């Protein structure tokens, strides 16, 4: 296999897996799979198997909360057997949509090459598109390393209640939390610089005060993440709520005052969009409690925040 095309072997060719045999009937196996595999849209914040089991066909992947990856490994297979024994057979490849995307991408690549070939830059465009597509696929496959083993391990132990959720948490790995802290530092510093620059032009305003406070809050949460301070988990929700409120307000303030209908429509869409984003991050952030509360829990904290 040519090194430049090796990532596409996993996308289209896939990798055959050993059949998994179970000492239970086919219908019981399908029922057990459906109870262990999450198929709900709102399960994006849950670590474990996600996918579908329908009419003897199974398509599942290992979900990592807050981390979308179109190049991650996906098990596509079938369920067969009788009332006493069943088996799962299939192979590891990737999402169907990714396979379709690269089919279209290769078609466009061929068209661009033929059209630009007479101009003398066809080879440059071809190599550039190949390098970009291969690089994206290779990066996505690298970031999802280890997920294939998790899928196969979870499927082989699907009849056991302890295999699918080995840790029972949805916590972002420590490295991921450090990346969140870096993003918050960039956001916080940017807001502080912007508020100081605006302060020199127009004095203290609501915008200046909100940018300065959100910047300081982001830096405080980032510091708490790096030091695993428990207050950072609570302040994370405050930061999410603040951003959700600030966005539609800033949109409303920037709209022209003469058209009330347009203002209402844009404010409504801005509010709904901010609410959807806030719910997503709140669900994901709620799952990080164990990162901050490792070890013995403080009883008073549980009394003050019983629902968290």
What are the pLDDT digits (tens) for 243-286? 888 777 776 666 665 556 666 776 777 788 788 878 877 877 88
* Residue 37 and residue 49 in contact, taking contact as beta carbons nearer than 8 Å: yes
* Residue 210 and residue 239 in contact, taking contact as beta carbons nearer than 8 Å: no
Would 277 be classed as within a structural domain?
Answer: yes
At residue 174, the pLDDT reads: 56
Cross-strand bridge partners of residue 88: 20, 79
Tell me: do 49 and 190 sit in the same domain: no
Q: How many domains does the chain have?
A: 2
In sequence order, what are the residues at sequence separation of 6 or more whose Cβ sits closer than 8 angstroms to the Cβ of residue 65?
A: 44, 45, 46, 47, 170, 171, 172, 284, 287
Q: Which of 115-124, 204-213, 296-305 has the lowest mean pLDDT?
A: 296-305
Would 117 be classed as within a structural domain?
Answer: yes
Tell me: do 47 and 143 sit in the same domain: yes
Tokens representing residue 180 in the block:
């969140």
CA 152 – CA 157 distance, rounded (Å): 9
Tell me: do 15 and 88 sit in the same domain: yes
Per residue in 12-34, pLDDT tens? 777 888 888 888 888 888 888 88
At residue 2, the pLDDT reads: 47
**pLDDT, mean of residues 128-152:** 81
Q: With helix as H, strand as E and coil as C, how does the chain read?
A: CCHHHHHHHHHHHCEECCCEEECCCHHHHHHHHHHHCECCHHHHHCCEEEEEEECCEEEEEEECCCCCCCCCCEEEEEEEECCCCEEEEEEEECCHHHHHHHHHHHHHHHHHHHHHHHHCCHHHHHHHHHHHHHHHHHHHHHHCCCHHHHHHHHHHCCCCCCCCCCCCCCCCCHHHHHHHHHHHHHHHHHHHHHHHHHHHHHCCCHHHHHHHHHHHHHHHHHHHHHHCCHHHHHHHHHHHHHHHHHHHHHHHHHCCCCCHHHHHHHHHHHHHHHHHHHHHHHHHHHCCHHHHCCCCCCHHHHHHCCCC
Tell me: do 22 and 114 sit in the same domain: yes
Tell me: do 17 and 147 sit in the same domain: yes
The larger pLDDT score, comparing residue 148 to residue 197, is at: 148
Residue 154 pLDDT grade (very low, low, confident, very high; cuts 50, 70, 90) = confident
Tell me: do 52 and 192 sit in the same domain: no
At residue 235, the pLDDT reads: 92
Task: Give me the helix-helix angle, 96-116 and 122-143, nearest 10°.
Answer: 160
Strands 20-22 and 86-93: antiparallel
Tell me: do 122 and 212 sit in the same domain: no
Would 168 be classed as within a structural domain?
Answer: no
Averaged confidence pLDDT in the chain: 75
Domain that includes residue 104, residue range: 3-156
**pLDDT, mean of residues 115-123:** 60
Domain boundary among 156, 182, 197: 156
Would 299 be classed as within a structural domain?
Answer: no
- 148 pLDDT exceeds 70? yes
Tell me: do 68 and 110 sit in the same domain: yes
Per residue in 210-236, pLDDT tens? 788 888 998 999 999 888 888 898 999
CA 71 – CA 65 distance, rounded (Å): 16
Tell me: do 38 and 96 sit in the same domain: yes
At residue 16, the pLDDT reads: 82
Per residue in 173-182, pLDDT tens? 455 677 788 8
Tell me: do 206 and 79 sit in the same domain: no
Residue 117 pLDDT grade (very low, low, confident, very high; cuts 50, 70, 90) = low
Tell me: do 22 and 134 sit in the same domain: yes
Tell me: do 61 and 135 sit in the same domain: yes
**pLDDT, mean of residues 286-300:** 62
At residue 179, the pLDDT reads: 77
CA 129 – CA 140 distance, rounded (Å): 17
Give the rounded percent of residues in the chain with a pLDDT score beyond 70. Answer: 73
């Amino acid at each position: 296999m040519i090194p430049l095309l090796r990532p596409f072997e996993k996308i289209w060719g896939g990798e055959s897996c050993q059949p998994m045999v179970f000492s239970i009937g086919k219908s019981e196996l399908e029922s057990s799979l459906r109870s262990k595999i999450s198929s709900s849209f709102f399960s994006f914040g849950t670590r474990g198997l996600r996918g579908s089991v329908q009419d003897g066909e199974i398509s599942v992947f290992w979900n990592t909360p807050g981390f979308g990856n179109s190049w991650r490994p996906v098990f596509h297979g079938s369920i067969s057997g009788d009332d006493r024994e069943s088996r799962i057979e299939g192979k590891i490849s990737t999402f169907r949509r990714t396979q379709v995307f690269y089919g279209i991408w290769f078609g466009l690549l061929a068209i661009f090459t033929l059209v630009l070939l007479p101009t003398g830059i066809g080879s440059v465009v071809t190599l550039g598109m190949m390098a970009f597509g291969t690089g994206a696929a290779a990066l996505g496959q690298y970031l999802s390393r280890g997920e294939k083993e998790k899928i196969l391990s979870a499927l082989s132990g699907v009849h056991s209640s302890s295999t699918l959720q080995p840790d029972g948490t949805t916590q972002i790995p420590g490295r991921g939390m450090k990346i969140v802290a870096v993003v918050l530092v960039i956001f916080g510093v940017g807001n502080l610089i912007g508020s100081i620059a605006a302060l020199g032009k127009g004095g203290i305003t609501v915008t200046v005060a909100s940018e300065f406070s959100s910047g300081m809050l982001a830096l405080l949460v980032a510091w708490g993440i790096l030091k695993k301070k428990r207050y950072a988990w609570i302040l994370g929700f405050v930061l999410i709520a603040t951003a959700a409120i600030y966005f539609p307000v800033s949109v409303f303030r920037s709209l022209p005052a003469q058209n009330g209908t347009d203002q209402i429509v844009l404010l409504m869409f801005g509010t709904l969009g901010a609410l959807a984003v806030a719910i997503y991050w709140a669900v994901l952030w709620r799952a990080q409690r164990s990162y901050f509360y490792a070890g013995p829990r403080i009883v008073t904290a549980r009394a003050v925040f019983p629902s968290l």
